[in-house]
């Protein structure tokens, strides 16, 4: 395991410091948070904690099942105590861009039903202004071309369908549009509202006012950043 991967593992495990016996936990998706899911499996088998997980993607569901983590649906388990997930970017106000893995709709639904949200990420995801990472949107299959045309009116960079001629299909049978805004998203709430008003948009990869802490891996180790006035402060 190289140094970057080892730091991801450490961060994923550190995020489990927020896990308590009896919790209902949103289980996120991504290369870092997978270590959180693995650690929760270990805590169940070795420490005997009793938790229920709600996976945000089919990949996470498969991993959790292989580890013996009891699972439920969001409809059955909500409200959740906490969600632990990854992020593609986070800014100083703990606003996020998510969706690089294509699971943004389920991820947002789970986060919305959680009493708190912890993000696990490395320091490459820390930015002053959101948008250098392309902003993903989930759109209905039949509407993607029309939505893309409308987005090109407000997006300064390229708007493309993920997968090109063989479009990526989400767990919800939608498509993903990736929008290159550049580091210009200083008011993510305003932009989210604007995009969601476009017919055919299912969800936007902006997570506004949801994240309460970031467990961040860097070359100097793992640091936990708490949002001042957040639900975990």
Q: What is the CATH number of the domain that holds 151?
A: 3.30.70.260
11 and 37 Cβ atoms separated by less than 8 Å: no
**Number of domain units in the chain:** 2
Q: Give the pLDDT confidence score for residue 67 in this predicted structure.
A: 97
Q: Is residue 46 part of a domain?
A: yes
Q: Are residues 71 and 148 in the same domain?
A: no
Q: Are residues 107 and 22 in the same domain?
A: yes
Q: Is residue 27 part of a domain?
A: yes
> How distant, in Å, are the alpha carbons of 209, 211, 212, 213 from that of 227?
10, 8, 5, 6
Q: Is residue 232 part of a domain?
A: no
Q: Are residues 149 and 100 in the same domain?
A: no
Query: pLDDT in tens for each of the 233 residues of the chain?
Result: 688 889 899 999 999 999 999 999 999 998 889 999 999 999 999 999 999 999 999 999 999 999 999 999 999 999 999 999 999 999 999 999 999 999 999 999 999 999 999 999 999 999 999 999 999 999 999 999 999 999 999 999 999 999 999 999 999 999 999 999 999 999 999 999 999 999 999 999 999 999 999 999 998 889 999 999 999 98
Q: Are residues 190 and 214 in the same domain?
A: no
The residue segments making up the domain with residue 81 are 3-123+208-226
Q: Are residues 109 and 28 in the same domain?
A: yes
Residue 66: φ, ψ to 5°: -65, -20
Q: Is residue 231 part of a domain?
A: no
Q: Are residues 118 and 170 in the same domain?
A: no
Out of 39, 89, 107, 203, which one is annotated catalytic?
Answer: 107
Tokens in use for 149?
């045309």
Q: Are residues 142 and 212 in the same domain?
A: no
Q: Give the pLDDT confidence score for residue 1 in this predicted structure.
A: 67
Q: Are residues 114 and 15 in the same domain?
A: yes
Q: Are residues 90 and 154 in the same domain?
A: no
Burial 68-78 (b: 16+ CB within 10 A, else e): ebeeeebeebb
Q: Is residue 114 part of a domain?
A: yes
Q: Are residues 155 and 119 in the same domain?
A: no
Q: Is residue 105 part of a domain?
A: yes
Q: Are residues 222 and 110 in the same domain?
A: yes
Is 58 among the residues known to form the active site? no
Q: Give the pLDDT confidence score for residue 2 in this predicted structure.
A: 85
Whose CA is closest to 29, among 103, 113, 109, 134?
103
The span from the CA of 70 to the CA of 102, in Å, is 24
User: Residue 83 sits in a domain of what CATH number?
Assistant: 3.40.50.1360
Q: Give the pLDDT confidence score for residue 150 in this predicted structure.
A: 97
Q: Is residue 129 part of a domain?
A: no
188 and 121 Cβ atoms separated by less than 8 Å: no
Q: Are residues 24 and 110 in the same domain?
A: yes
Q: Is residue 151 part of a domain?
A: yes
According to DSSP, the residues that pair with 217 across neighbouring strands are 122, 222
């Amino acid at each position: 395991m190289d140094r970057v991967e080892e730091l991801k593992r450490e961060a994923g495990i550190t995020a489990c410091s927020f896990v308590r016996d009896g919790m209902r936990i949103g289980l996120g998706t991504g290369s870092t948070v997978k270590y959180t899911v693995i650690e929760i499996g270990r805590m169940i088998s070795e420490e005997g904690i009793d938790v229920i997980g709600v996976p945000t993607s089919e990949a996470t569901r498969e991993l959790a099942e292989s580890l013996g983590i009891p699972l439920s649906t969001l409809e059955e388990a909500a409200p959740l105590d906490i969600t632990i997930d990854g992020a593609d970017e986070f800014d100083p106000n703990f606003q996020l861009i998510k969706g690089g893995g294509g699971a943004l709709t389920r991820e947002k639904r789970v986060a919305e039903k959680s009493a708190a949200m912890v993000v696990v990420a490395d320091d490459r995801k820390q930015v002053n202004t959101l948008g250098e990472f392309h902003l993903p949107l989930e759109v209905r299959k039949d509407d993607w071309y029309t939505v893309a045309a409308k987005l090109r009116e407000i997006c300064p960079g390229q708007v493309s369908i993920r997968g090109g001629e063989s479009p990526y299909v989400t767990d919800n049978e939608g498509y993903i549009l990736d929008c290159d805004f550049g580091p210009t998203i200083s008011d993510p709430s305003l932009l989210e509202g604007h995009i969601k008003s476009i017919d055919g948009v299912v969800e936007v990869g902006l997570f506004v006012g949801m994240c309460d802490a970031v467990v961040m891996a860097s070359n100097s180790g793992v640091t936990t950043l708490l949002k001042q006035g957040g639900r975990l402060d």
